[in-house]
Amino acid sequence: MIGHPVSHSLSPAVHNAAFRALGLDWVFVALDVPPGAGAGTVSVTGLVGLAGLSVTMPHKEAAATAVHRLSSTAVALAAVNTVVRRGEELVGENTDGAGFLDALRADEGFDPAGRRCLVVGAGGAARAVIRALGGAGAAEVVVVNRSRERAEVAAALAGPGGRVGVAAEAGEADLVVNATPLGMGGDRSLPVDPVHLGPGQLVVDLVYLPAITPLIDAARARGAAGVNGLGMLVHQAAHAFRLWTGEDPPLEVMSAAALGELARRT
Ligand code: NAP
């Protein structure tokens, strides 16, 4: 894995637990690569004998310029979170959106098809989520963001159902997603006024530290269901694991490793 910083990442614990569970003689290590050095590091993946890379901030865009081929999702997002070595070639993929959808469907029993969704944020994670929701047939994907220009770019990724909106529209949504860092590590700010949340809604906070963010807390207090971003993290890792190893990812092991590592830090 390359990123900056990386010391907080749960990914080494998640992947190494999965390798052990399947008896694979593989290892996942996190390398702190300074900004500006991402593309150069990706380009030597094959030379140093790695099977692939996980790529996190701030290198996702640079990684997309350093591989030989991109998946259609990585092209649309212009960002790569997973590099896979296929012979001499490096292939760039982005598993964030697929991981988000898997977490929704498998862990929460929520199918976005025909549903109204509101996403706060228009950064890398938001764009992956917005495109995935549009692709999964959401009736509407309303994008709320501090800077309007980025919101417009992000909303277009959802296709015809995507549009820019305001946080007060959360009351009309079946699914509300926080894809900003608000609520992370002691921050008490809320991306949406809880007055707009209530029974029948699912609120997903992509933040997972703390495990119960202020938004999740407020959503539950208003009768909505609230979950954090750990499910997305595990499922996007599972997609990467399958791409690298060709094996079925041991989801329960990966999930337990993520929870264990999170508990160790709190
Ligand atoms: P990013 O590309 O930097 O985007 C951040 C977004 O948050 C932007 O839309 C930004 O608005 C908005 N924002 C930042 N500070 C804000 C503030 N004070 N008030 C209002 N809006 C603010 O970051 P990212 O990679 O998308 O990550 C976003 C969050 O998702 C992070 O908390 C990250 O940890 C989490 N995440 C979780 C997973 C997972 O697997 N669970 C995966 C990826 C990311 P502007 O556009 O106006 O700057």
C-alpha angle with apex 115: 113 to 120, nearest 5 degrees? 115
126 Cβ inside 6 Å of ligand 1: yes
What is the whole-number distance in angstroms between the Cα of residue 124 and the centre of ligand 1? 7
Residue 208 bears catalytic tag: no
Give the closest residue (by CA) to ligand 1 atom 13.
Answer: 180
Give the closest residue (by CA) to ligand 1 atom 28.
Answer: 180
User: Within a 13 Å sphere around the CA of 162, how many CA atoms are in the beta-carbon half?
Assistant: 23
What is the whole-number distance in angstroms between the Cα of residue 43 and the centre of ligand 1? 27
Convert the pLDDT of each residue in 69-123 to its tens digit: 999 999 999 999 999 999 999 999 999 999 999 999 999 999 999 999 999 999 9
Q: What is the C-alpha separation between 121 and 210, in angstroms, rounded?
A: 19
Q: What DSSP state is assigned to residue 4?
A: S
Closest CA to 119 of 169, 58, 44: 169
What is the whole-number distance in angstroms between the Cα of residue 191 and the centre of ligand 1? 11
152 Cβ inside 6 Å of ligand 1: no
User: Domain 2-94+231-265 carries which CATH code?
Assistant: 3.40.50.10860
Q: Are 199 and 168 in contact (CB under 8 A)?
A: no
Q: What is the DSSP string of 49-113?
A: T-SEEEB-TTSHHHHHHHSSEE-HHHHHHT--SEEEEETTEEEEE--HHHHHHHIIIIIH----T
**Token pair for 76:** 């649309």
Q: Which atom of ligand 1 is nearest to the CA of 99?
A: 40
Which of the residues 59, 60, 131, 239 is marked catalytic?
Answer: 60
Q: What is the C-alpha separation between 95 and 73, in angstroms, rounded?
A: 8
What pTM was computed for the model?
0.96
Architecture of the domain defined by 97-228: 3-Layer(aba) Sandwich (3.40)
DSSP H/E element including 212: none
The one-letter amino acid at 246: G
Closest CA to 123 of 203, 179, 163: 179
Q: Where are the domains of the chain?
A: 2-94+231-265, 97-228
**Token pair for 192:** 């949406």
pLDDT of residue 266: 75
Give the closest residue (by CA) to ligand 1 atom 20.
Answer: 146
pLDDT of residue 185: 86
Instruction: Please return the burial class of 179, using the count of CB atoms within 10 Å of its CB with bins 0-12, 13-18 and 19+.
Output: buried
Q: What is the C-alpha separation between 72 and 76, in angstroms, rounded?
A: 6
> Percentage of the chain surpassing pLDDT 90?
95
Q: Within the chain, which residues score under 70 in pLDDT?
A: none
